[in-house]
Amino acid sequence: LTDRSGIKIEVDDPITEAAKLVDEGYIVAVKGIGGFHLAALASLDDVVLELRRRKGREEKPFALMALDISVAEKIAEVNQVHRELLTSPEKPIVLIPIREGAAVSKFVAPGLNTIGIELAYTPLHYLLLGNTRDKYLIMTSGNYSGEPMCVSNEEALRKLGKIADYFLMHNRKIVNRVDDSVIRLTYGKPVFIRRSRGYAPSWFKLPIELKKSVIAFGAMLQSTAAVALEQYAIPTQFIGDVEDYETLNFLEGALNFLIKSYGVDVKNSILACDLHPSYLSTRLAEEWSKTHEIPLIKVQHHHAHIASAMASFNLPLDEEVVGIAMDGVGYGVDGCIWGGEVLRASYSSFERVGMLEYHVMPGGDAATNYPFRMLMSILSKSLSEQELIELATKYQHALPRGVQEAYVVLKQVKQGAPKTSSTGRVLDAVSALLDICFFRSYEGEPAMKLEAFSKLSDDVSFKTSIKQVNGVYAVDTASLVKDAYEMLMEGYDPKAIGGAFQYAIGKALGEIAVKVAKRNNEHVVISGGAAVNDFIIKGVCDALQNFSCEVLLPSKVPVNDGGISLGQIMVALANAMKM
């Protein structure tokens, strides 16, 4: 046990002393088996808020670690599936509905109705928790937000000294950084949010034996990389958002770890990456391709999503599916930002047959960070400029510069670019409309809070309109958002509006899948970050309930960008066979 300067504190039992310090409201950095955690009381608002301030983590939920299953059941509504996951050898974090009246600060997971819980998975954690008053603590990654988790004692003291008050450390070297895995239930079944400790690197058997190894660099957000050799694909542990040098370095290090461990001959390999030219992972792949003089295959983002899901079910190489890919952002082949797509796809190729209609993203990334911008953009198709300014006046707090900024947003909408078909941006707009979230402080926040806020009710439903644009079916989301706006003005329950809207998005995409499926399309495959949404998946499944296709939602690989690297492996493999 040391203080934040690294000076050793002489005590008989460092673990018991660390538990006392946590109970007194201090933040303690704890070295585990895959990296450092930050441990703190989850039951005191002041402690949780101080941890948020020091860590630079405004709203993103913190995970909790509980001593055992009986402690977890005191703070969350644990069902049988949750119990099996929590007590499994892998010991993931499981997102579970919070129990009413639980002694958990509202600042642990602001605006959400679930909390992430894992059970103590090492003797150190068990002894630490056993000596605390609550028997559960915040146990969040030991890093500044956006950076990889610290793994060495020296690095932790240097980087976490302004966050943690004390350090509980051991002298075992962590040779492979690995975060905790995260799982939630969608439509009653487990799906990965983060596939890492306990699950990676485990293998996916491929439908063919490889002549050359494949190395995939993944995407950008919530990312992983992967290698494939002989008859197996091996994704890395969770890497995170590849937006800075440190995370990019982690990505390259994780790839080199697998390459060394499995004896991959890089010179006799094929590389695969995302189509997006600005992703740091794409640039790294280009650098490897140039350095090693080996081929690089660039894979469209949503094609990779569908190929990943297909591979997770071990579908054969000649299989063709209808794929529904729903997420926040992916670079489209037309230069627009995709994210609400229906594809007729095989491993080797795809055809876009359906989509959510395009909307302008006023200000580009600003429209992602401030959802009210997307709301104004979508409503501009049905409301006058005066009506939109009146709406902005009513929602004064929705834009940093208030109504003045609204005038700028309308000018940007008229400029007409960039355009997006993103499911995430439409959900963001409705999240703002229903006064749920006006600033995105972490990936998926507006949509996650919208899902937590919403409910289904017989009193509210939406009529969807699907039109054809240049031979591609498009969901008229502008009309859906306008209907939601009018219902809200008429006094309908906002929770019911939110639930019905999300359900309608899923149902419309499912209806397109029915329209475009051929007789040989035996499966409808669902993937993308928004594919964890209960309301949307119920809508898709209801639309397909009388259809002969089997609906497949992956449970072995993340549906978010954590699964992209596996999809890139499969697309590269299928295309390499044509060379």
Cβ-proximal residues to 216 (8 Å cutoff; 6+ apart), any chain: 225, 226, 227, 228, 271, 272, 273, 564, 565, 566, 568, 569, 572
Question: Peptide bond before 201: cis, by omega within 30 degrees of 0?
Answer: yes
340 exposure class (CB count in 10 Å sphere: 0-12, 13-18, 19+): buried
Report how far residue 337's alpha carbon sits from residue 342's, in angstroms, rounded to the nearest whole number.
14
> What Å distances lie between residue 367 and 399, 429, 433, 446, CA to CA?
10, 9, 14, 12
358: DSSP letter: P
Cβ-proximal residues to 10 (8 Å cutoff; 6+ apart), any chain: none
CB 532, CB 186: distance < 8 Å: yes
> What Å distances lie between residue 359 and 93, 100, 341, 385, CA to CA?
36, 40, 14, 16
DSSP symbols for 522-537: -EEEEESGGGG-HHHH
pLDDT at res. 195: 98
Report how far residue 483's alpha carbon sits from residue 1's, in angstroms, rounded to the nearest whole number.
59
| Prediction pTM value | 0.97
Report how far residue 541's alpha carbon sits from residue 528's, in angstroms, rounded to the nearest whole number.
16
DSSP symbols for 231-242: TEEEE-S--B--
Nearest Cα residue to 28 out of 7, 51, 53, 59: 51
Question: Peptide bond before 418: cis, by omega within 30 degrees of 0?
Answer: yes
pLDDT at res. 579: 67
Per-residue pLDDT of the chain (579 residues; tens, 9 = 90+): 999 999 999 999 999 999 999 999 999 999 999 999 999 999 999 999 999 999 999 999 999 999 999 999 999 999 999 999 999 999 999 999 999 999 999 999 999 999 999 999 999 999 999 999 999 999 999 998 788 999 999 999 999 999 999 999 999 999 999 999 999 999 999 999 999 999 999 999 998 889 999 999 999 999 999 999 999 999 999 999 999 999 999 999 999 999 999 999 999 999 999 999 999 999 999 999 999 999 999 999 999 999 999 999 999 999 999 999 999 999 999 999 999 999 999 999 999 999 999 999 999 999 999 999 999 999 999 999 999 999 999 998 999 999 999 999 999 999 999 999 999 999 999 999 999 999 999 999 999 999 999 999 999 999 999 999 899 999 999 999 999 999 999 999 999 999 999 999 999 999 999 999 987 778 999 999 999 999 999 999 999 998 888 999 999 999 999 999 999 999 999 998 876
Half-sphere exposure of 574 (CA within 13 A, CB side): 28
CB 229, CB 261: distance < 8 Å: no
Nearest Cα residue to 255 out of 527, 247, 557: 247
Beta strands in 48-130 (DSSP E): 63-66, 93-97, 114-119
Helical (H) or strand (E) element with 229: strand 226-229
